Homo-oligomer: A and B are copies of this chain.
Amino acid sequence: MNMTETATVKLGRPRGFCEDTALEAAMRVFWEKGYEGTSLTDLTEAMRINRASLYSSFGDKETLFRRALARYGEGPAAYLKVALQAPTARRVVETLLKGVVDLLGNPKNPRGCLSTQGALATGLGAEPIKNALIEWRKGAEAEIQKRFKRARTEGDLPEDINPGDLTRYLSSVVYGLGIMAANGDTKADLNRVVDMTLRTLPL
């Protein structure tokens, strides 16, 4: 037996499901129903696996949600990372808002944004998840602010615009778009908000 190599050959009964596909399904259920609103039965039905498989592959409900959130950041919400690479502050804002609308306005997606749909207010049991989502949002804000600070040094952010203020303002609009989408507003509605924002943007 070769102890130095990681086992590439699997013993025992093989998996009857694809972990990636199952996680994607879990993410969408959480996105639609929120953390507390999603039951283990909801999850197992959507993921098409049973409880034992869920627990052995993903840990408990809270761990599964955290993995779903990470996947959300790298998948549906990846527009953020793309936007941060735009060449100027104005282009960052334009790309960011367009990405948000593409995500929130896509009728194939659950309504709203996972980070706000997941848990804004909770009972005692789900408080760690609520806090994780707050951290997630604040992390995104921090990245945007960092990008605007860079823009300041590169000269494409006016002197009278504070990077932190701009970040907070922009974040508010983005969060607001999430609520509008949760309200059932269409992509056209969301685009009107974005148009107004860009029209009045002081840069």
Which residue from chain B places its CB closest to the CB of A185 in the assembled complex?
Answer: B168
Q: Does A180 contact B (CB under 8 A)?
A: yes
User: Interface residue tally of chain A, by bracket?
Assistant: 35 or more
Given A42-B123, A169-B193, A176-B175, A183 contacting B117 (CB threshold 8 A): no
Bound form: Cα–Cα A199–B137 in Å:
25
Bound form: Cα–Cα A169–B197 in Å:
7
Q: Which of B172, B174, B182, B185 contacts A120 (CB 8 A)?
A: B182
Q: Does A166 contact B (CB under 8 A)?
A: yes
Q: Report the copy number of this chain in the oligomer.
A: 2
Chain B residues within an 8 Å CB radius of A110: 121
The answer to whether B176 touches A134 (Cβ under 8 A) is no
Least CB distance, A104 to chain B, in whole angstroms: 11
Least CB distance, A177 to chain B, in whole angstroms: 6
The answer to whether B199 touches A202 (Cβ under 8 A) is yes
Which residue from chain B places its CB closest to the CB of A189 in the assembled complex?
Answer: B168
Q: Does A196 contact B (CB under 8 A)?
A: yes
Bound form: Cα–Cα A178–B179 in Å:
10
Chain B residues within an 8 Å CB radius of A166: 196
Stretch in contact with the other chain, from A9-17, A30-38, A60-68, A71-79 = A30-38
Interface centre among A118, A177, A200, by most chain B C-beta atoms within 10 angstroms, is A200
Bound form: Cα–Cα A83–B121 in Å:
27
Which residue from chain B places its CB closest to the CB of A118 in the assembled complex?
Answer: B121
The answer to whether A123 touches B38 (Cβ under 8 A) is yes
The answer to whether A112 touches B116 (Cβ under 8 A) is no
The answer to whether B169 touches A179 (Cβ under 8 A) is no
The answer to whether B117 touches A120 (Cβ under 8 A) is yes
Chain B residues within an 8 Å CB radius of A192: 162, 164-165, 168-169
Chain B residues within an 8 Å CB radius of A162: 192
Bound form: Cα–Cα A169–B189 in Å:
10
Least CB distance, A193 to chain B, in whole angstroms: 5
Bound form: Cα–Cα A196–B38 in Å:
38
